[in-house]
């Protein structure tokens, strides 16, 4: 199940807000569609990014997929664990498989994204 306390995008990313920082990852649905993930390409800390823009990519045996940031701001930390163990993304997409932490430049953005229920409804229409 997609956690209730996160916000989601139609591009299958999630964001969890902790203070003025947004933690970003890809959804369980996304990792399952991609299959075994073998490589993750992430931005450098300090990069300033804008909502909806590409910040990196996730590569599986099947395909390479862009990651679009759900929020704007400055990258303050990237998940180094994924370099060594990209499979973490498959195992724990909402926990240790997070991608980047972004210092939010517009704290109002997350609330405008999809709720867990809205995201599930969207996934339902997309896969039917």
Partner 1 sequence: MISKVRPHPTQNESLLFETSSPGKAGYQLPKLDVPPVDARDALGAQNVRQEIPDFPEVSEVDVIRHFTRLSTWNYAIDLGLYPLGSCTMKYNPRVNEAVARTEGLMWIHPYQPDALSQGAFAILAELERALAEITGMDAVTLQPAAGAHGELTGILLVRAALEAQGNARKKVIVPDSAHGTNPASVRMAGYEVVNVASNDRGMLDVEALVRTVDEDIAAIMITNPNTLGVFEEHIAEVARILHSKGALVYMDGANMNALAGISRPGDYGVDLMHLNLHKTFSTPHGGGGPGSGPVAVKKPLEPFLPLPRLQHAPSGWSWNYDRPQSIGRVRAFYGNFGVLVRALAYIMAHGGDGLNRATLDALLNANYLRKLLESHYEIAYHAPSMHECVFRHASNGAIAKRLIDYGFHPYTVSFPLIVHGAMMIEPTETESKQELDLFADALVSIAQEVKENPELVSTAPHSTRTTKVDEVAAARKPILKWTR
Give the interface segment with partner 1, choosing from 4-12, 54-62, 101-109, 111-119 (CB under 8 A).
54-62
- What's the closest the beta carbon of residue 62 comes to partner 1, in angstroms? 5
1 is a site residue for partner 1 (CB under 8 A): no
Nearer to partner 1 among residue 29 and residue 101 (C-beta): 29
32 is a site residue for partner 1 (CB under 8 A): no
61 is a site residue for partner 1 (CB under 8 A): yes
- Choose, by CB under 8 A, the member of 3, 20, 32, 39 that binds partner 1: 39
Long-range CB contacts for residues 15-19, cutoff 8 Å, separation at least 24: 15/70, 15/71, 15/110, 15/113, 17/104, 17/107, 17/110
Closest CA to 16 of 127, 87, 126, 97: 97
Closest CA to 55 of 75, 84, 35: 75
1, burial (CB in 10 Å: exposed 0-12, middle 13-18, buried 19+): exposed
Nearer to partner 1 among residue 108 and residue 124 (C-beta): 124
Give the interface segment with partner 1, choosing from 1-9, 14-22, 31-39, 94-102 (CB under 8 A).
31-39
Nearer to partner 1 among residue 5 and residue 127 (C-beta): 127
Q: What are phi and psi of 116, to 5 degrees?
A: -55, -45
- Choose, by CB under 8 A, the member of 11, 74, 77, 87 that binds partner 1: 87
> 124 in helix, strand or coil?
helix
């Amino acid at each position: 199940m997609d956690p209730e306390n996160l916000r989601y995008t139609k591009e299958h990313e999630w964001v969890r807000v902790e203070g003025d920082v947004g933690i970003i990852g890809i959804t369980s649905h996304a990792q399952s569609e991609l299959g075994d993930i073998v490589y993750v390409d992430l931005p450098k800390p300090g990069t300033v990014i804008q909502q909806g823009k590409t910040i990196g990519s996730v590569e599986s045996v099947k395909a390479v997929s862009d990651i679009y940031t759900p929020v704007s701001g400055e990258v303050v930390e990237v998940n180094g664990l994924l370099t060594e163990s990209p499979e973490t993304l498959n195992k724990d997409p909402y926990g240790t498989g997070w991608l980047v932490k972004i210092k939010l430049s517009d704290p109002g953005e997350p609330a405008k994204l999809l709720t867990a229920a809205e995201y599930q409804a969207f996934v339902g229409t997309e896969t039917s």
